[in-house]
Amino acid sequence: MPAKRWCSFPPSVERWVSEDGVPFHVHQEDGIRICDGFLLGHCPRRQSCPLHHTRYPFHWQIRGSGRAAWQSLSDSSQRHLEKLYSDAENGLVQFLDRNRLFGILDLDTMELGYSDVVNRVRRLGSTSDWKQNPRFHTRWQVYWKHRDTWQRYQEPVPRDLLAAFERGSQEPTFRFQGRLYTLDLRPPQPGSVQPIQIQRRPAYRSLSCMARYLQTVPRDSRGLFHPSTSIIPGERPTDGYCGPYPAAWVPQPPCGQAFLHAEVASSEAVYREICELFHASVPEDTVLVLKIYRIRNDALWKKYSSRKERMSRGLSAQERRLLERHLFHGTSADNVEPICRVNFNPRLSGKHGAQYGHGSYFSFYARCAHNFALANYADRRHVFLAKVLVGKWVLGRPGYTQPPAREPCRHRYDSCSDAAHKPSVYVIFDNSQCYPYFLICYKLLSNPVTLEGISGAGSLAGNSSPAGRLMQPGFSTL
């Protein structure tokens, strides 16, 4: 988290500037909503605005039992907690500080128990009126408890009922289908008739979904948003590109440094494409994508590009489109930096078995790679979306150390696979046929929410880096 500064007299506003240069502020008073204009990039009052200026249409803060000030959670914790809160089945959330249980949050009462440091949590939100903000209004959904599961009301929710939630009324009256109803929001008393439980939760919006209109998230390093699919030559596996490193705005690694990794902005079209590929087999309601990075290693790219050019010779246009695939490879955090530096190592295949040969394994499905993405100390997991030259493949066997020869000619196949037709797993024996282009950093939603950057609750540990920020080849921040 970037450093924060407080107004001196009175300390009623929390202000900070993100590393991508966006100024934010949050007022301490309750009953203030997030500024719709700021989210869309045109608040005329700027830092003097009486509304909250936050990165997202939601914002989470905590307050200690002995402190008067609300403090904001880190960027990744904001999204983690919001995603948990949007699921009506979640009632309790664990908070973690420096790998130790810090407290358990009751999402109904917003009280943090089992902790002598923090006792309250609050959620700030945007307006629920779609006419005021058609892009980022809060879309509340109401649920009722049926046996042991929460059922969402399918009919339009009465505005009177939503207004009662906003006011915190204990016995709101609302009209529905021509009848007048009274809803008791108070806890049931002993011996009373068992009431029907009801609650509201916001509909969740993913970062990739919001990024097109949300002006508070980092743009790419050129300040652009690409509304179409990826237009960068070389970043689509079917475009047949052979040439210099595609993301030319990422500078070359300095002398003596093998690689750089630069964050992919959530506003880029390729960010959405990667998330869609990843969530096609790893459900979005089970994980939270934290960051996506491009990896630039000129030595590895030169070898890969040369190999692609050689393998493309003599192929038809259709065969060239099928030559390269974008495939997933999961690994532990300890292996991320070596892979970025020297590429995937086929000799390590026996570590997890070699059913289809002794090579580097890549999968069409992210869920397969996820099984090998071991969490680090901070519960972060890492999956590469690699460029892989699969070429002509054949069904693999455990004893293969290279692809077998093709009959009747003596040329070998380019790779092995788990099936002769429509394979989902490919095995590469020569690492010049693969390149670690994208790196996905994520965590399980079932992991506790971490209290990063909260003074008095642990050390300052930031994880909010701007788009295009160049990272040194040390992955401790991931």
Q: Quick one: tokens of 351?
A: 């570590």
Residue 228: is its pLDDT beyond 50? no
Contact predicate 98/460, CB 8 Å: no
**Under 8 Å between Cβ of 436 and 344:** yes
What's the pLDDT at 331? 95
For a pLDDT cut of 70, what percent of the chain falls above it?
78
DSSP string for 263-283: EPPTTSHHHHHHHHHHHTTS-
* H-run or E-run covering 333: helix 333-342
- CA-CA distance, 326 to 390, in Å (whole number)? 10
CB 105 within 8 A of CB 95: yes
The residue with greater pLDDT, 466 or 23, is 23
pLDDT in tens, 54-110: 999 999 999 877 667 899 999 999 999 999 999 999 999 999 887 788 889 999 889
Res 370: pLDDT: 97
Average of per-residue pLDDT across 203-208: 90
**Partners of 229 in the β-ladder:** none
How far is it, in rounded angstroms, from Cα 280 to Cα 302?
Answer: 31
Is residue 380 pLDDT above 80, yes or no?
A: yes
Q: Rg for the chain (alpha carbons), in Å? A: 26
370 versus 471: the higher-pLDDT residue is 370
Please tell me the predicted confidence (pLDDT) of residue 157.
Answer: 67
Across all residues in the chain, what is the average pLDDT? 84
Ramachandran region, residue 168 (left: φ > 0; alpha: ψ -120 to 50; beta: rest) = left
Q: What is the pLDDT of residue 470?
A: 46
What are 175-203's pLDDT values in tens digits?
A: 555 666 566 555 555 555 556 778 889 99
Which domains are delineated in the chain? 140-202 (3.30.720.50), 218-447 (3.90.228.10)
Q: Do the beta carbons of residue 53 and residue 42 sit within 8 Å?
A: no
Encoded tokens for 155: 């009919």
User: Which one, of 307, 221, 317, 232, lies nearest residue 274 by Cα?
Assistant: 232
Is the pLDDT assigned to residue 117 strictly greater than 90? Answer: no
**In the predicted model, is pLDDT for residue 389 greater than 90?**
yes
- Angstrom distances, CA of residue 453 to CA of 74, 151, 210, 456: 6, 36, 25, 9
Instruction: Residue 51: name the closest of 127, 105, 111 by CA.
Output: 127
Average confidence (pLDDT) over 160-178: 60
If one counts every other C-beta atom within 10 angstroms of the C-beta of residue 287, the result is 21
- Report the C-alpha gap between 466 and 20 in whole angstroms: 5
Highest mean pLDDT among 264-278, 283-297, 312-326: 283-297
Please give the Cα distance from 313 to 319 (Å, whole number).
Answer: 10
Distance CA 217, CA 215 (A): 6
Which two three-digit tokens encode residue 87?
């699921």
